[in-house]
Structure formats: C-alpha cells, structure tokens
Amino acid sequence: MTRTCQEIAAYSERLYYDLEFGSCKAWKEDGGGHCVGYMPVYAPREVIHAAGAMPVGIVGAGDWLEVIRGDAYYQSYLCHIPRSTVDLAVTGRLEFLDGMLFPSTCDVIRNLSGMWQMLRPETYSRYVDVPQNFDPEIGGRFWEHELRELARELGEVTGTEVTDARLRASIKLFDENRAVVNEMYALRRDQPHRAPTSEVYLVLRAGNVVDVETHTALVREYIDTAKATDRPDMDNSRVVIVGTFCEQPPLGLIKSIERSGCFVVDDDMLLVSRWFTADPAPDGDPFGALARAFVDHTVPTAVMYSPTSGRGKALVERVRRARAEGVIFAAPSFCVPALLDQPMLVAELDREGIPYTAFKYSENTGQFGPIREQTGTFADTMKLWSAA
C-alpha cells in the first residue's frame, strides 16, 4: 500500500506532536537499546549511532506544551527553547534518554549543559565543544580528540564500544541520509509546488525521533511520491528563510509564510541533517575523517566563526543557487547568534540588491496574523519588482 504525500506528512506530524517520544521508546523496547539526545545546532550523530544508540534531536516543545516549570528557570529576556526543554526534563518526559549532548551553540545552550548536570545528575551528559579553529592540525586535532572521548564515554553508557568499523558504518548511513535529505531539498527548490515546506519540514523533522535508516527510507518515499504527484503550480515568490537553526518556528508559522504567497526554496532548519557540504573520507581513520569533514566542510552558519567575512557572500550564493527572489530573516526572539549575524548578512544583501524582510518569533508564537501580513506584502512587492 502506498501513502500519499499528505499521509506521509500526517505520519510525520504525529511524531512531531508526540511529546512522549513514543517512537523512540518503541525503538528501545524493540531491542534498539539506548537513546541519546542532542540539542541544536550540530552533534556528531554518527558517533552516537556507532555506540549503538539512537540519536534523538531535542528542539524544545514547540507551541503545544504549556511551559510552567521551565519558565521558572529563565528570565523573560532569554529565548524559549531552553524553557520548554527544561520543562520536558522536569516533567519526566526525557527519562527515556540515556544521555544528552549540548553542542556549543550559544551561551544559553552552554549553560543548559551545566543545569543538566544539576537537574539530572544521574544521567550521562556532555557539552560538545566544537572547534572554531579550522586548521586540521589545531582545531581538527582538538576535535578529533573530543570525538574520541565522546565515543569512549558513550561506549561506557551503552556497553557498545565504538570501533572503527562501527563508526565507518555509521558514517555511511548518515552520508546516505544527508544525500537523501539534500535530494528532498533539491526537489523543493526545483518544484516547490510539489514539495511544500510544511510537508518537507515535517518529514525532515521526523529524523529527530526515528532511527536513521527508517528516516532515510521515509525521505526517499516522500521524494518518490512527491515527484509522482501532480499538484497545481502557483505564482508564488521564492524565498530563503534564515535564522531558524536552533529554536524552531511553529508549524503554523511555516504554513502562514507559504499561504501568504511564498515558496520556501531553502532554509536553515535542523541544520544537523545537512551539516557537511561534502562527505567525510570513506576510508582511513573514521574519527580523523569526521574531524576533517568538520573543519573542511561545515555549512556556514551563525554559530560558527567565519575566518573571513564570507558568510554574507555564502548567503548570496545560496539565494542564487536556490533561484530565490528574496530572504526572510526569521529569528527566534533573543537568539544571539541569529540576531547578531543579521546585520552582516543584511549588508551583503543590500550590496547585491537582494530584497529581504525580517521578523522574530518564538517556538510558541500563537499570533501569525501580523507575520502573514508581512510576508504576504513582501511576496507581493517582490512580484512587483520582478515584473518591473
């Protein structure tokens, strides 16, 4: 029996709304063993997988959890994702996790790693300090050591030693996953009416809570179905969304942008799934290969240092590649990396004459009216410009 795009999206949406992480628990009970959570923006999922654990992407609780206790830990001028994440933890919803990784995304996530040590002292957690020095001999070496330490510790948690062979196999699985995700993005770029972002996002997001092979198959199924399904094309404006790499926009917001007349043809949501711009070397030492891929092939994003002022140019490049007409800066309120990055990106877009618009959201934003208004006007304006 084959599923329609809508059915695949509906399945993914059930996963999306499941704050009890039923899919992960089921996987554990089926003999899968362990689950290790990770927060945005980047975590070496290959290493988690090689230790016999399912990497589980934790990105807050969206707009369907009333955050009470989590709010008690955070002042009003901090973003929302740590509140809902802490809420998930203190309400016991993350008990199934055997470990938790906190990548060096920003000071809020960094400090959350320390809070975790105090809130959940009984479970394994680690701060993942990615290198900001991209010299293979300096940052690369440091990172390789970090990866080995992580592997050793995860091995102790799961009882499965991360051998070179296992890691190599895991890298291959994630390479395949990344390839199929990139293919889905390419499909959306080329035929956005066949692969609306409200669906693509849900299918992508399912990768947070199912194992990598299942996810690869899911994305494949979606691509094949979407290609085979006729849907009416629309005269929408093509936009790239920037700033959504950590705290996720609510689904309603994504839908609002689309309904206001935009095709989202590229974005930076859940970047971990497309982190490497080229695969790690398939042979040789797999730790070295992963480390090298990181220093050589990391996707440009606000949380990574840019040794040259190249990130604005990289955005322009992305816009061109996606044949987009404009950029929507959608940053979570109080998101330091996204908001501090924005003026530099804006300056480059100005130089290139690429139109943009900007707004802030939080994962539990309930009001889409003003945003719909704004992006709708933006879409219309771009149409006028391109017609002129």
Partner 1 sequence: MKCFVGIDLGSTTSKAVVLDEDGRILGRGITNSRSNYELASAVARTEAYVTSRFTIFGRELDERLASHPSSDRERVAEALRRSFRLQQYLRQLDTLEAFVHEELENRRYASVRDEAAPRLVTVLAQLRDVATRHFAAGAKRKSDFFRDLAGADFQEAAEEHSDPILAPFGMLVSLYDKAILRVENEQLELGFEANIGPALERALDEGDVGLRDPARLAAEAAAAAPLDEVRAVGTGYGRARLPFPRDQIRSEILCHGLGAHAMFPNTRTVLDIGGQDTKAIQVDSAGIVTGFQMNDRCAAGCGRYLGYIADEMNLGLHELGPLAQKSTRRVRISSTCTVFAGAELRERLALGERREDILAGLHRSIVLRAMSLLARSGGVDDEFTFTGGVANNAAAVDALRALVAENYGERTLNISPDSIYTGALGAALFALRDVQHGSLVEVAA
Partner 2 sequence: MAPRRPDVDPTAAVKDRSMQRQKELIASYYDRLAAVPETGEKTVATFVPGNLTELLLSFDIVPILPEINALQSGMRQKSAGYINEAERMGHSEDVCTYVKCDVGMLAGGNIGPTGKILPAADMLLLSYTGCFTFMKWFELLREEYKCPTVFLQTPYQARGEVTPEMRQYMIEQLKKVVIPSLEQLTGKKFDIDRLREALTLSARAEDDLVAVLESAKHRPSPIDSYFGGVYYIGPIFTAFRGTQEGCDYYAMLRKEVEQRIADGRGPTTPEGDLEDERFRLVVEGPPNWTNFREFWKMFYDEGAVVVASTYTKVGGLYDRGFRHDPSDPLGTLADYCLGCYTNLSLPKRVELLSDYVNEYEADGFLINSVKSCASFSAGQLLILREVEERTGRAGGFIESDLVDPRYFSGANIKNRIESYLQMVDQKRSAGVTS
**Which residues would be at the binding site for partner 2 (CB under 8 A)?**
72-75, 77-78, 82, 102, 104, 106-108, 110-115, 117-119, 126-127, 129, 131-133, 135, 137-139, 141-142, 145-146, 302, 305-307, 309, 331, 333-337, 339-344, 346-347, 360
Choose the one of partner 2, partner 1, none that binds residue 68, judging by a C-beta under 5 to 8 angstroms depending on kind. Answer: partner 1
Q: For residues 207 and 223, what is the distance between their CA atoms, to the nearest angstrom?
A: 15
The residue within the footprint of partner 1, chosen from 31, 92, 121, 369 (CB under 8 A), is 369
DSSP 3-state assignment of 361? strand
Choose the one of partner 1, partner 2, none that binds residue 316, judging by a C-beta under 5 to 8 angstroms depending on kind. Answer: none
What minimum distance in Å lies between the beta carbon of 309 and partner 2? 6
Choose the one of partner 2, partner 1, none that binds residue 142, judging by a C-beta under 5 to 8 angstroms depending on kind. Answer: partner 2
Q: For residues 338 and 77, what is the distance between their CA atoms, to the nearest angstrom?
A: 15
Nearer to partner 1, 105 or 364 (CB): 364
List, in order, residues 6 or more apart from 229 with CB less than 8 Å away. Answer: 4, 5, 194
Distances (CA, A) of 58 to 92, 152, 156, 206: 14, 22, 22, 11
Contact 357/376 with Cβ under 8 angstroms?
Answer: no
Choose the one of partner 2, partner 1, none that binds residue 320, judging by a C-beta under 5 to 8 angstroms depending on kind. Answer: none
Nearer to partner 2, 77 or 283 (CB): 77
Residue 217 has a CB neighbour count (10 Å cut-off) of 13
Which residues inside 198-237 make contact with partner 1, applying CB under 8 A? none
Choose the one of partner 2, partner 1, none that binds residue 240, judging by a C-beta under 5 to 8 angstroms depending on kind. Answer: none
What minimum distance in Å lies between the beta carbon of 143 and partner 2? 9
**Which of these segments, 53-61, 70-78, 186-194, 334-342, binds partner 1 (CB under 8 A)?**
70-78
Contact call for residue 247 and partner 1 (CB under 8 A): no
What minimum distance in Å lies between the beta carbon of 199 and partner 1? 24
Contact call for residue 66 and partner 1 (CB under 8 A): yes
Contact 339/366 with Cβ under 8 angstroms?
Answer: no
Nearest to 27 by CA among 169, 213, 155, 200: 213
Contact call for residue 367 and partner 1 (CB under 8 A): yes
Nearest to 315 by CA among 372, 204, 262, 239: 239
Contact 177/216 with Cβ under 8 angstroms?
Answer: yes
Q: For residues 207 and 188, what is the distance between their CA atoms, to the nearest angstrom?
A: 18
Contact call for residue 20 and partner 1 (CB under 8 A): no
What's 121's DSSP letter?
T
**Interacting residues toward partner 1 by CB under 8 A:** 63, 66-69, 71-73, 75-76, 364-367, 369-370
